Chains A and B, each alone.
Chain A
Amino acid sequence: MKYVEEFNDPELARRLLDDIAATITRPWAIMEVCGGQTHSIIRHGIDQLLPSQLELIHGPGCPVCVTPLETIDKALAIAARPEVIFCSFGDMLRVPGSHGDLFRVKSAGGDVRVVYSPLDALELAKAHPDRQVVFFGIGFETTAPPNAMTVYQAKRLGITNFSLLVSHVRVPPAITAIMESPGCRVQAFLAAGHVCSVMGTSEYPPLAERFRVPIVVTGFEPLDILEGIRRTVHQLEAGRAEVDNAYPRAVPAEGNPAAQAMLADVFEVTDRAWRGIGVIRRSGWRLSERYRAWDAEDRFDVGGIVTAESAQCRSGEVLQGLVKPHECAAFGTVCTPRTPLGATMVSSEGACAAYYLYRRLGGTSREAEPVGR
């Protein structure tokens, strides 16, 4: 309990931890499917504050990490073209493709730009009518509506020199894939709060019922995570498997209807490969027929890509919760944030990067981050 003093409300943190400890009677394994939660758990040592019977398994919740290698390679090929201004979120800059990353493309003269909002990319297209502006549209359900708005506006405003390289993924099919995988140890899920801010909670009761797992919608601040875990443990111990919303201040049950309407217009559900995991049925979105003219994959001939994943990297197993980052032989030796073999070592939400930052010495915390006032 040595770090509890550093929570922004230590009293509440201790009460939640005491309640968890008083409730738990046997081992349980809970998976979070949100890179932000993974980072927060490791950064604040939350897993080390919990009773030892409780294992937190880090799921494939980092959007940067699950973007397939082939799509990264396509992005690199498009970004290197002289007529292209390639726009991306900052997290993608150092994600390794088969040969290099966007940072290196930029260093070699490619016009790669980081945008804060996807709409900034559309502004660039308006400002540079003689160039092709491409936005790398990755992310889960939280990020899909902002990215969808770019092609909606491009169509409405008649902007033809803009296109979207789409690699969107959805959480519920990933939960299904995890539960159906052989050797699955997951007994409950923390659902990603901001995904549910957009999508609401209605997709989850069928999953909770089918797989007999509690699913608790959880925020990603330290106290939110403790409360999500506390409610999950109560359900597990009582033999219940329900959907519970532990993050109501940001998640109404219906989600955001305007954003959902945009998703239904701009995208259609498709099978999607997840890096290190493989194809998951109906787990992604691609542009719907109405917006296909803005699809960067159709606009640029990027065929003939032969992908080459690192033979040493075990990020696929990390993403599925089969191994912890420090159990990989390359972790912290040949694979570091400076020389990453896999995307999980790059992104601020990747499990390997979080373990590298906060757990390097023998799998124990160097020091927990103060959670200051």
Chain B
Amino acid sequence: MCLALPGKVLEITERDRTRMAKVDFGGVVKDVCLAYLPEIAVGDYTIVHVGFAIQKLDEASAVETLKLFEALGMMDQELGDPWGRAAADAGQVPPA
């Protein structure tokens, strides 16, 4: 949960009077709130924690981290199916 993933800002929009973005995490695209990084622009890389951009990051560091996280299965842990994971840990089927 405390993981923060680097991603690339693809597109900036506004929702509920707040700056939002489509951010690409190595192929998975998520909605991310930009309220805490007002200066960030399309094409920039940012560190994203629970759907919020918290700091800007240089491209080389971002790409290296994404490669590492992909290899470690950490992208799936953060962006994958939480009920399936909890059910597997519990030795049960996911609740409907």
Cβ of B68 under 8 Å from chain A: yes
- Residue of chain A at shortest CB distance from B93: A107
Contacting residues of chain B (46-96) with chain A, CB-CB under 8 angstroms = 47, 49-52, 54-55, 57-58, 61, 64-65, 67-68, 71-72, 77, 79, 82-83, 85-87, 89-92, 95
Complex alpha-carbon distance, A106 and B90, angstroms: 13
Q: Which of A117, A153, A338 contacts B50 (CB 8 A)?
A: A117
- Residue of chain B at shortest CB distance from A64: B1
CB distance from B51 to the nearest CB of A (A): 2
Cβ of A238 under 8 Å from chain B: no
Q: Which of B3, B33, B49, B95 contacts A106 (CB 8 A)?
A: B95
Per DSSP, chain B at the interface is mixed
Q: Is the beta-carbon distance between A120 and B35 smaller than 8 angstroms?
A: no
Q: Which of B17, B50, B65, B89 contacts A143 (CB 8 A)?
A: B50
CB distance from B13 to the nearest CB of A (A): 13
Q: Is the beta-carbon distance between B79 and A116 smaller than 8 angstroms?
A: yes
Q: Which of B50, B68, B77, B85 contacts A221 (CB 8 A)?
A: B68
CB distance from A220 to the nearest CB of B (A): 8
Q: Is the beta-carbon distance between B1 and A89 smaller than 8 angstroms?
A: yes
CB distance from B95 to the nearest CB of A (A): 4
Q: Which residues of A contact B85 (CB under 8 A)?
A: 90
Q: Is the beta-carbon distance between A252 and B55 smaller than 8 angstroms?
A: yes
Complex alpha-carbon distance, A149 and B72, angstroms: 31
Q: Is the beta-carbon distance between B50 and A146 smaller than 8 angstroms?
A: yes
Binding site for A on B (CB under 8 A): 1-4, 16-18, 30-33, 35-38, 47, 49-52, 54-55, 57-58, 61, 64-65, 67-68, 71-72, 77, 79, 82-83, 85-87, 89-92, 95
Binding site for B on A (CB under 8 A): 8, 34-36, 43, 62-64, 89-91, 93-94, 103, 106-107, 114, 116-120, 139-140, 142-143, 145-146, 149, 153, 156-157, 192, 194, 197-198, 221, 249-252, 256, 258-259, 262, 337-338, 346-349, 369-373
Show 6 residue pairs from A and B whose CB-CB distance is below 8 angstroms, ordered by the A residue: A103-B87, A145-B52, A149-B52, A194-B47, A256-B55, A347-B1
